Amino acid sequence: MNEDKRIPSGHFWNVFAAVAAFTTYLFARRKRTWLMAGLMLVPMTLPFLAAWLDTSAMRMGPRLLVALVEYLYLFTLAPLTALFFAGTLLSEEVEGHTFPLLLSRPAPRGAIVLGKFAAYFLVSFALLAPATAAFMGAGAYALRVADPAAAFALLPRYLTLIAMALLSYGALCLFVSTIASRPVIVSAIFLFGWEKAVVAIPGYADFLTFEKYIRRLTPDVPFKRLELGKLELPVELLRSVYPVGAGASLVVLVGVTLVLLALACTAVRKRQYAAHGDGT
C-alpha cells in the first residue's frame, strides 16, 4: 500500500523537517564527515607549493587561482562529496536494516527521501563553501594576486555553481542508490569515468554530462583559462565542441535534478524493503 496516500499533505513537511534535522545530526557525528572536511582543506597548500617550486606561477596568479578553484572544488570535490554522501544516503541504512524500520512508520516515503537529501546538501555545502573561500584567500596571498578583491568577487558565483553541482550530482547518486546494488561504484563510473572521458567521443555525447552545463555557467574572466586535467588527444580524435547557452544550461541542470529526485522518491515508494534484507 502507498503510505503517502494515507498521510495528510500537511504532515509531509513535518516529516521532511524532522528527517532532515536528524540526518544532519547523524552527519555531524560521523567521522567520515570530518575526514571529508579535512580533505577539503588540503588543497590550500597547493598555491604555496606552486609558488615555491616555480616562481612563474605567481605571474599566472589570477589564471592559476581560477583554474585551481574550478578543477579542485567545482569539478572534483563537489562530485566526490556527492558520491560519498548522497551515494550512501540510503544504501547504508538498507544494509544496516534500519531503513525498513523507518519506512514502517506512518510517514510519506517521499518526505523521508527528500529530508535525507536536504541534510546531505546542507552538510556538503557547509563543508565546501568555507573551504572554497579559504582556498581563494590562501591562493590570492600565495600567488601574489594583484587585485584580490576582483578574485573574491568571483566567489559568490562559484559558491552558487558548487551548490548546483552538489544538487545535480547528489540527485544522480541518490537515484542510483535506489536501483543499484553497488551505487557508489556505478556513480563513480559516471562521475569520474564517463564525464572525464566523453571528450574523446565525437558528436553530442558531452550533452549527456553535468560538467558541460556547469562549465558553461562559470563566470567570465578577462584572460584565457588554464584547463587543468583536460585530456590531451591525438589530432584525429579531436572534435568540434557544440556550444550550449547559459539559460539552457540552467534549465537542464534544474530540470534533470528535479526528475532524478522524483525518480528516487518513486523508486523508494514502490520498492518493498524486507526487515532483514535489502528488499526486492
Residue 262 has pLDDT above 80, yes or no: yes
Per-residue confidence (pLDDT) for residue 89, from 0 to 100 = 85
Q: Confidence class of residue 274 from pLDDT cuts 50, 70 and 90?
A: low
pLDDT 10s digits, 113-123: 999 999 999 99
* Vertex 268 angle, CA 126 and 87, to 5°: 40
Q: Grid cell 541518490 — which residue?
A: 174
Mean pLDDT of the chain: 82
Task: Give residue limits of the domains in the chain.
Answer: 3-270
pTM for this predicted structure: 0.85
Rounded to whole angstroms, how far apart are CA atoms 169 and 272?
A: 26
Phi-psi region of 218 (alpha: psi -120 to 50; beta: other; left: phi over 0): beta
Q: Confidence class of residue 102 from pLDDT cuts 50, 70 and 90?
A: low
pLDDT 10s digits, 38-88: 989 888 887 777 666 565 555 666 778 888 899 999 999 999 999 999 988
